[in-house]
Amino acid sequence: MNQLFGLQFFIKEKNLKIAIIGCGAAGIMAAITAKRLNKDLQIDMFDANKGIGKKILASGNGRCNISNSKITSKNFIGENPDFVNFALKEFDFKAFEKFCKSIGLFLDVKESGKVYPLSNEAKSVTNLLELALNELGVNIYLESFVKDIEKVEDKFNIKLDENEYKSYDKVLISNGLGAAPQLNANESGLDFASKFGHSTNPTYPSLVGLQTDNNYNGKLQGVKKECLVSLFVNNNLEQEIFGDVLFTSYGVSGFAILDISQLAVLNLSSYQDVKIAINFFPKLPKNDLADQIQSLLKTVPNQRVVDILTGMVSNKIAPVILDICKISLDTKAHDLNAKQIKAIAYQLNQWKLKIVDTQGFAHAEASGGGVRTIEVDNKTYESKLVKNLYFAGEVLDIVGNRGGYNLHFAWASGYLVGKSLGK
């Protein structure tokens, strides 16, 4: 009799039903990992889009910056960035590489650490992932926007607009946050989390262009230059990043700005005073720069300063710098005094811009904030408040730097959930 009961229990356990909300990187990895461990699981995936992995397709400008070989917890921010440590240890880059080979995906690992599919096409990544899901018998419900999740006794019910799917043993919420609403991104995952008693930290756009208090009437639009960008919060230097700065109609963008935006927006969202300083000549101290400007002016004393400066910076930047220094555009080189030359050098070395806003979620590559990690087990990603409820990926209050870090965290967190689901 005891043997028979044991067998019944085993069968019941083997036929677990699992619902995964969101067919992004985290959800896909969880489904594949779980099914490989236990082929008898019934896994149903729900996504609002017409196809899986919409953000995967959009990453790396369609080339898919899929991971980073030099990843550490230092590449993440959030209330507790160390939360990622176990996931990165259990699912490091070598583990990711092994997984990719298992689905037939070969990687191109750049010197910088950035990792792309060898095909250089994001579509090949989602195609292979979809083939793996189909082969394992995972059920995928597309164009299916989940409206509500209910827990009745020890089972979960998933409610859509017209249908209801019942009696799930476990649920994974991995449908991201609000970045890229054009890809049907939304914050419903936070609503579900709150409903189950979880607290959340305010969300904010991350890896995004920054609005400045002065756009100089759009005169700088289109100017792009490699600069050193310094972030000041309440006048304290917090971060320095070297890279491309692109001036826009609203303020600044470019890779250096996207990178520095993470910390900038985090502080902006808590109403701190946020400024950036742009250094066009980071290798030259301002006194040396002033000397260079002075010697340049001496060679052509009868020419306009604005025209001479275009030999050093863009012809769009030069008049704006002079305007800031209150120097007329008609001023000739021989009319400029030492104090004015120093003022120009100072601006070119440390041009401060006040940050007032961002370009918003629609233009953000990722979202910060989300479900508080203190309420989630860092080894299984199961809720500490609700048994059999899991979170993975962007919905958690963890956001990575630009360069494949966010996607890797999605894979790693999905992997740990998958291991738990497959037991």
Q: For position 95, what pLDDT does the model report?
A: 98
Compute φ and ψ for 150, nearest 5 degrees: -115, 145
What's the pLDDT band for 8 if we cut at 50, 70, 90? very low
Report the b/e string of 257-281 with b at 16+ CB within 10 A: bbbbbbbbbbbbbeeeebbbbbbbb
- Predicted confidence band at 65 (pLDDT cuts at 50, 70, 90)? very high
Q: How far is the C-alpha of 67 from the C-alpha of 237, rounded, in Å?
A: 30
Q: How confident is the model at residue 419 (pLDDT cuts 50, 70, 90)?
A: very high
What's the pLDDT tens digit per position in 152-172?
999 999 999 889 999 999 999
Residue with tokens 């870090």, as numbered in its chain: 405
Q: Alpha-carbon distance 387 to 363, whole Å?
A: 36
C-alpha triplet 312, 318, 322: angle, nearest 5° = 125
Please give the sequence-ordered ranges of beta strands (E in DSSP) within 57-146, or none if there are none: 67-68, 76-77, 107-109, 114-117, 139-141
Alpha helices in 270-380 (DSSP H): 286-299, 305-309, 317-324, 338-349
| 61 has a pLDDT exceeding 80 | no
pLDDT score of 190 more than 60 = yes
SS3 (DSSP) at 311:
coil
pLDDT in tens, 256-304: 999 999 999 999 988 999 999 999 999 998 889 999 999 999 999 999 9
139/316 Cα distance (integer angstroms): 56
Between 410 and 182, the higher pLDDT residue:
410
Dmax over Cα atoms in the chain, in whole Å?
A: 106
Which amino acid makes up residue 127? N
Class of domain 286-351: mainly alpha
Quote the pTM value: 0.89
* Predicted confidence band of residue 311 (pLDDT cuts 50, 70, 90): confident
What value does the mean pLDDT of the chain take? 93
Higher-pLDDT residue of 12 and 74 is: 74
The owner of tokens 């990711």 is 96
Eight-state DSSP code of residue 376: B
Residue 3 has pLDDT above 80, yes or no: no
pLDDT digits (tens, 9 = 90+) for 100-122: 999 999 999 999 999 999 999 99
- How far is 181 from 197, CA to CA, in rounded Å? 26
Band of pLDDT at residue 179, cut at 50, 70 and 90: confident
Helix (H, G, I), strand (E, B) or coil at 369: strand
Q: Which residue has the tokens 């189950």?
A: 196
Distance (Å, rounded) from C-alpha 330 to C-alpha 328?
5
Whether the per-residue pLDDT at 96 is higher than 50: the answer is: yes
Categorize the per-residue pLDDT at 63 as very low, low, confident or very high, splitting at 50, 70 and 90. Answer: confident
For the chain, the structural domain boundaries read 15-204+366-422, 206-280+352-358, 286-351
Confidence of residue 76 (pLDDT cuts 50, 70, 90): very high
Pick the CATH number of 15-204+366-422 from 1.10.287.610, 3.50.50.60, 3.40.1280.10, 3.30.360.10: 3.50.50.60
pLDDT at residue 136, rounded to an integer: 98
- The single-letter DSSP state of residue 49 is S
Is pLDDT above 50 for 83?
Answer: yes
pLDDT digits (tens, 9 = 90+) for 214-244: 888 889 999 999 999 999 999 999 999 999 9
**Average pLDDT of span 55-80:** 91
**Region 361-371 average pLDDT:** 93
For the stretch 373-404, pLDDT in tens is: 999 999 999 999 999 999 999 999 999 999 99
Assign domain 206-280+352-358 to its CATH superfamily.
Translation factors (2.40.30.10)
In sequence order, what are the residues at sequence separation of 6 or more whose Cβ sits closer than 8 angstroms to the Cβ of residue 170? 16, 17, 18, 19, 156, 388, 389, 390, 421
Measured from the Cβ of residue 73, the count of other Cβ atoms closer than 10 Å reads 18
Q: How many CA atoms lie within 13 A of 383 on its CB side?
A: 23
